[in-house]
């Protein structure tokens, strides 16, 4: 289950802090992009070498360095050394099987969070690990592959839309987290619509495919929940953190984000409950359908059983069987059969069995 642990067997007992890439390499070459801005100006460039990015580090401008691809441990090591990161931080960045978390270091905050997208082909949600290092004047983000949900944020920076250009690095970090949580909600909604969609089918036409769908949705909802719950935890800690890395004016935004993630968790739980209900209704549906069949067939058989018995009586070969010799016996016999059948059908009707 690569979705849970990604610890390579080779790494068991290896020295902590040693940089071993754990995960699936998703890009050929790591790509380093820098966006550097302040209220007055904006610079956007792609670096060949991380050393070119270091000068941005200590300027008063907001510097966002984004790295796509974390398989290149050499590069990560260089970045880590240039920006003074703890060995464990570097290890966590290249190990893509981490649980979302926040860690405080003296000069920076370190977050891990999952970016999710629904892969239509595999019919499952794919998580990508995003590591963020929030320093005083720089923000490092590490993604597993190219392509993310941050384009609207980049647009807002480029167009100086909203407050983003006028605020510090902490607001940028918030804006990225906000976008990720927004995206969670988008995915939850899409899944939610499908979950509600199947509701009507369940009672009427409970097929095994439906059961598999329900179980699939349940697993995916659990997966999202596992991503969002620890994220929510660290956003809560972040909103109450006593640090000069987060400006006081950013705190209300973080609290707002906390509300949003709390709501997301609640909605997930609502859908999980709904899926549990779906499962129960599914089983009720299955049972009802079978019961209906069995009931009708059993009643059907029950009606013919006495009729067959009566026919059996007059199939006997007794020498002295008076009824056999009357002229209208056969027609009376039919009459009796009909009466018995009608009486029985009525009986079942009156008892509400039909």
* Sites for a second copy among residues 24-43 (CB under 8 A): none
Q: Which long-range contacts (CB under 8 A, 24 or more apart) does 79-83 make?
A: 79/50, 79/140, 82/50, 82/51, 82/53, 82/54, 82/57, 83/54, 83/57, 83/108, 83/133, 83/135, 83/138, 83/140
Q: Please list, in sequence order, all residues whose beta carbon lies within 8 angstroms of the beta carbon of residue 111, skipping any fewer than 6 positions away.
A: 100, 101, 102, 131, 132, 134, 173, 177, 234
Decide if residue 13 touches a second copy (CB under 8 A). yes
Tokens of 247: 């400006």
The residue from 46, 58, 209, 277 that contacts a second copy (CB under 8 A) is 277
Residue 194 C-beta: closest distance to a second copy, Å: 11
Q: With H, G, I as helix, E, B as strand and everything else as coil, classify residue 26.
A: coil
Q: Which of residues 172-211 bind a second copy (CB under 8 A)?
A: 174-175, 178-179, 182-183, 185-186, 188-189, 192-193, 196, 203, 208, 211
**String of contacts with a second copy for each residue 96-135, x by CB under 8 A:** --xx-x-x--------------------------------
Backbone φ and ψ for 39, nearest 5 degrees, come out as -55, -25
Decide if residue 17 touches a second copy (CB under 8 A). yes
∠ CA 109-266-253, rounded to 5°: 40
Adjacent-strand bridge partners of 103: 110
**String of contacts with a second copy for each residue 144-163, x by CB under 8 A:** -----xxxxx--x----xxx
If the CB atoms of residues 242 and 248 are measured against a second copy, the closer one turns out to be 248
Residue 72 C-beta: closest distance to a second copy, Å: 21
Residue 286 C-beta: closest distance to a second copy, Å: 7
Residue 15 C-beta: closest distance to a second copy, Å: 3
If the CB atoms of residues 16 and 41 are measured against a second copy, the closer one turns out to be 16
Decide if residue 291 touches a second copy (CB under 8 A). yes
Decide if residue 318 touches a second copy (CB under 8 A). yes
Alpha-carbon gap, residue 351 to 262, rounded angstroms: 53
Q: Determine the size of the site formed for a second copy (CB under 8 A).
A: 110
348, 354 Cβ separation under 8 angstroms: yes
Length of the chain: 354
If the CB atoms of residues 48 and 316 are measured against a second copy, the closer one turns out to be 316
The 8-class DSSP code of residue 135 comes to -
Instruction: Answer positive or negative: Cα dihedral of 58, 59, 62, 66.
Output: negative
Stretch that binds a second copy, among 34-42, 51-59, 128-136, 300-308 (CB under 8 A): 300-308
Decide if residue 164 touches a second copy (CB under 8 A). yes
Decide if residue 314 touches a second copy (CB under 8 A). yes
Residue 146 C-beta: closest distance to a second copy, Å: 18
If the CB atoms of residues 54 and 117 are measured against a second copy, the closer one turns out to be 117
Tokens of 158: 């480029």
Residue 75 C-beta: closest distance to a second copy, Å: 21
């Amino acid at each position: 289950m690569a979705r849970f642990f990604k610890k390579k067997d080779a790494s068991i007992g290896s020295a902590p802090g040693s940089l071993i890439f754990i995960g699936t390499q998703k890009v050929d070459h790591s790509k380093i992009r820098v966006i550097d801005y302040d209220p007055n100006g904006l610079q956007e460039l792609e670096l060949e070498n991380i050393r070119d990015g270091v000068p941005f580090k200590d300027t008063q401008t907001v510097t966002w360095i984004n790295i796509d691809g974390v398989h290149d441990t050499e590069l990560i090591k260089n970045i880590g050394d240039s920006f003074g990161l703890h060995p464990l931080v570097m290890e966590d960045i290249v190990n893509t099987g981490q649980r979302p978390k926040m860690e405080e270091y003296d000069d920076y905050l370190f977050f891990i969070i999952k970016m999710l997208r629904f892969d239509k082909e595999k019919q499952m949600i794919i998580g990508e690990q995003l590591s963020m290092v929030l320093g005083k004047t720089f923000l490092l983000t590490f993604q597993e592959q190219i392509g993310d949900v941050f384009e609207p944020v980049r647009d807002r920076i480029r167009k100086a839309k909203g407050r983003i250009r006028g605020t510090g690095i902490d607001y940028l970090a918030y804006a990225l987290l906000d976008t990720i949580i927004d995206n969670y909600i988008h995915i939850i909604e899409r899944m939610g619509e499908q979950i509600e969609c199947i509701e009507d089918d369940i009672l009427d036409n409970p097929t095994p495919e439906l059961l598999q769908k329900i179980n699939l949705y349940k697993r995916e909802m659990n997966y999202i929940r596992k991503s969002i719950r620890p994220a929510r935890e660290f956003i809560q800690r972040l909103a109450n953190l006593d640090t000069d890395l987060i400006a006081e004016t950013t705190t209300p935004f973080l609290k707002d984000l906390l509300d949003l993630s709390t709501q997301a968790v609640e909605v997930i739980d609502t859908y999980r409950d709904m899926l549990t209900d779906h499962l129960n209704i599914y089983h009720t549906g299955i049972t009802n359908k079978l019961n209906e069949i069995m009931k009708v067939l059993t009643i059907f058989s029950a009606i013919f059983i006495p009729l067959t018995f009566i026919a059996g009586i007059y199939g006997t070969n007794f020498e002295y069987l008076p009824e056999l010799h009357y002229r209208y016996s056969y027609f009376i016999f039919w009459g009796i059969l009909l009466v018995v059948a009608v009486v029985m059908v009525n009986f079942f009707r009156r008892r509400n069995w039909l």
